[in-house]
Amino acid sequence: MNFKKYRFLLGVSLLLGFSSAFAQTVDPNKETARQLLEMAEEINKSTAVKTQARDIYVQVVDFDPENQRALFMAGKLYLETVNKERAVKYLKKLYELNPEYRFDIPFMIGEAYQYAMDFDNALLYYRKYKSKYESKVNYRGQDLVPMDWVDRKIYECENGKKFMVNPSHWTIVNLGENINSDSYDFAPVFNEDETLIIFTSRRQDGNLNENVDKDNFYFEDIFYSRKVNGQWEPAKNIGTSVNTRFHDSNLALSADGQTLFIYRDSNGGDIYYSTYNETEDDWSEPLPVEGRVNTSFSENSISISPDGNTLFFSSDRPGGMGELDIYMATKDDKGVWSRVKNLGETINTPYDDDSPFIDYDGKTLYFSSKGRDGMGGFDIFKTVYDSATSEWSEPVNLGYPINTPDNDIYFVSTADGKRGYYSSVREDGMGYTDIYMVKIPDEFDEQQQLLAGKDIEKAEDAAAPDVMLTSAETEEVVAVIQPVILEVKIVDQGSKAAMESRVNVREANTGMSWRGVRQENGAYRFELKPTETSNFTLSSEKDGYVFKNLKLKLPVANDEEQMVERTLAMSRIQTGQKSILRNVYFDFGSAKLKKESFSELNKLERMLSENPSIKVEISGHTDAVGSAGNNMKLSQKRAEAVMNYLEGKGVDATRITAVGYGEERPLASNDDEEEGRELNRRVEFEIIEK
């Protein structure tokens, strides 16, 4: 079966299911659910297409909300794919219906809450599992999670809480559609002057293989882009000299951009290299790295020092500290990589340690690890080599928001040390894994000092406000910049009762976002330092409710602590409800979505995915500038752009209608720009079926 076409077959199945059900006077919902469950089970059994099996299990739950098999599989497959936090909905419902369905259900709920960065609820369910484990010490089922792993997850959640209280001021920016796609994009590498990016993608466009792999995603190919006038050109396939029709991925690029290291899965996984021929504008046939780097085991990440004399790579060869370890290789007198050394327990852990990147100073090493004081998955760490002692410093977690409970990996820094790039799954992403640029904050080194050491609790106690001094001679303190405290209460629009939600604040100018930390009084707390140019958006999301956004004007941070309180009322999903997509942007006269729109549209996608029965109309609206005919066409194209984005994220096309209304439905007078025309230029959605 071609599972790219499964939605068509699903529609046929639904039609047959309904006719069969009515013919036999059987509950049509239960009969449809039964047929869908059979389809999902077959996909899950015979293929590796987890995302599509997951989506059908979700449909089963929609028709039969108490189907325990579908609830379990929907939750399980969410945890194994993307949008892992959505597993909470299905696993909690299963736990309420049958707490003994599986021994490890509380642990799985804990995992889902951890991915949602709801660490308090994650700890609650991890401890429920721990109590269950301790009360049944003789249990030996396959669904038993070992206690050391449970303790590790508890430790990660405790770390996550502390990192979120002390966020680093990273500015994290999606590289946009010229680089990223709706599939997996990862492992960015650059030349020294940052004019060439090479990365790996599983996109369809430009792929050398028109067929998909067994997991229904296209094969990995290596792509590249060049920066022209400060902008990345649309990415292109690097070509048949490097890529094959099967999996090919890049690992590192020399500073001069002339040597590319790639991964081939032959011989257990080996590292190859290719050199650039400027005359022919092409790369050479890849050859295996000489010496003792490659073995019959896996070598799957590499970084080369700026002088070309040292390699850092990861391997699971015997003799390491755990699973993947990081090694260093140097050349012998003949120029062969013959001297290989494990970096030792200062760097390596019993868990995976991967994706090393040696900075341009030749002594700062970034890497990702599933161990240490991480928040979950791979976290990015930094360590510095001391040539006097021949030792690496204690690695420091780069902290939140650059690290999350999911995998954050493949970090590389620029020659000037002001920016970095890495791969992550984030709220404003275009696909499964996207490539992001991060602007490294000026105070980062100070924050590293703060978070260094194994006792991360020092971070909370030692966190100090920004201090400005008049001069080095007097060291007189003239101002202490205090944060603006924002406390947000979330209530039900109808009952006015307080409720839990996923609450975020996003700074529009930088793209930096913060997750609210819930307080004992039920409010969500943020500590922000607005400047005169800061613009914020407050957002709240909860299953069964329409997501809510509110633009915030906060006072500028000064030497006095300031408190701002807001209440956000959320409405339950119901037919006829309308909402403006307030943060969806287009260039003037264009229907092309700007990357600043992705965060807002992803909220709409999450609402649709978590409530699979609803259908929406996407409507485009313009002001009265220009001809009515052109405005009608533009509004239709903009509505279709939003619809196409949602379909690209996996929302069934039959659930979305796009309509352009042009200038027919103004919200305000078109005589004024700021209070009129600006309000009229908008995209809305209306729930037309629940």
Quick check: is 204 in a domain? yes
Quick check: is 454 in a domain? no
Output 348 or 451, whichever has higher pLDDT: 348
Tell me the average pLDDT across 317-334: 93
Q: What is the pLDDT of residue 685?
A: 95
First to last CA, the chain: 31
Instruction: Judge whether residue 67 has pLDDT over 80.
Output: yes
DSSP string, 270-314: EEEEEEEETTTTEEPPPEEPPSSS--SS-EEEEEE-TTS-EEEEE
Q: Are residues 414 and 271 in the same domain?
A: yes
Q: Are residues 397 and 254 in the same domain?
A: yes
Q: What is the pLDDT of residue 459?
A: 38
Tell me the average pLDDT across 191-205: 96
The model's pLDDT over 659-683, given as tens digits with 9 standing for 90+, comes to 999 988 888 777 666 565 777 888 9
Q: Choose one of 545, 572, 599: the last residue of a domain.
A: 572
Instruction: Judge whether residue 444 has pLDDT over 80.
Output: no
Q: What is the pLDDT of residue 450?
A: 46
Q: Are residues 209 and 287 in the same domain?
A: yes
Name, of 7-11, 127-131, 425-429, the range with top average pLDDT: 127-131
| Contact between 241 and 285 (Cβ < 8 Å) | yes
Q: Are residues 503 and 393 in the same domain?
A: no
Instruction: Give percent above pLDDT 90 in the chain.
Output: 66
Write the DSSP symbol of residue 268: G
Quick check: is 63 in a domain? yes
Name, of 10-24, 253-267, 459-473, the range with top average pLDDT: 253-267
Mean pLDDT of all residues belonging to the chain: 88
Q: What CATH number has the domain bearing residue 191?
A: 2.120.10.30
Quick check: is 343 in a domain? yes
Q: Are residues 626 and 566 in the same domain?
A: no
Q: What is the pLDDT of residue 26?
A: 67
Q: Are residues 225 and 317 in the same domain?
A: yes
Q: Are residues 204 and 297 in the same domain?
A: yes
Instruction: Give percent above pLDDT 70 in the chain.
Output: 90
* Domains identified in the chain, total number: 4
The model's pLDDT over 234-254, given as tens digits with 9 standing for 90+, comes to 999 999 999 999 999 999 999
> Which residues, including other chains, have CB under 8 Å from residue 114's CB and lie 6 or more apart?
122, 153, 156, 157, 160, 376, 405
Q: What CATH number has the domain bearing residue 124?
A: 1.25.40.10
Output 559 or 423, whichever has higher pLDDT: 423
Read off the pLDDT band of 568 (50, 70, 90).
very high
| Euclidean distance between CA atoms 651 and 636, whole angstroms | 19
| Contact between 562 and 484 (Cβ < 8 Å) | yes
Instruction: Judge whether residue 53 has pLDDT over 90.
Output: yes
Q: Are residues 355 and 213 in the same domain?
A: yes
Quick check: is 61 in a domain? yes
| Stretch (H or E) spanning 240 | none
Out of 3-7, 393-397, 643-647, least confident range = 3-7
Instruction: Judge whether residue 172 has pLDDT over 80.
Output: yes
Q: Which domain holds residue 408?
A: 171-440
Tell me the average pLDDT across 442-458: 48
Q: Choose one of 109, 131, 161: the last residue of a domain.
A: 161
Quick check: is 617 in a domain? yes
Q: Are residues 510 and 620 in the same domain?
A: no
The model's pLDDT over 398-422, given as tens digits with 9 standing for 90+, comes to 999 899 999 999 999 999 989 999 9
Q: Are residues 47 and 61 in the same domain?
A: yes
Q: What CATH number has the domain bearing residue 510?
A: 2.60.40.10
Quick check: is 322 in a domain? yes
Q: Are residues 561 and 582 in the same domain?
A: no
Q: Are residues 320 and 419 in the same domain?
A: yes
The tally of CA atoms less than 13 A away on the side-chain side of residue 610 is 22
Tell me the average pLDDT across 255-279: 93
Out of 106-110, 154-158, 659-663, least confident range = 659-663
Read off the pLDDT band of 684 (50, 70, 90).
very high
Tell me the average pLDDT across 149-155: 97
169: burial class by Cβ within 10 Å (0-12, 13-18, 19+)? middle
- Pairing state between β 185-190 and 466-469: unpaired
The model's pLDDT over 140-150, given as tens digits with 9 standing for 90+, comes to 999 999 999 99
What b-and-e string marks burial along 638-656, b requiring 16 or more CB atoms within 10 Å of the CB?
bbbbbbbbbeebbbbeebb
Quick check: is 237 in a domain? yes
Q: Choose one of 531, 549, 572: the last residue of a domain.
A: 572
The model's pLDDT over 539-548, given as tens digits with 9 standing for 90+, comes to 999 988 999 9
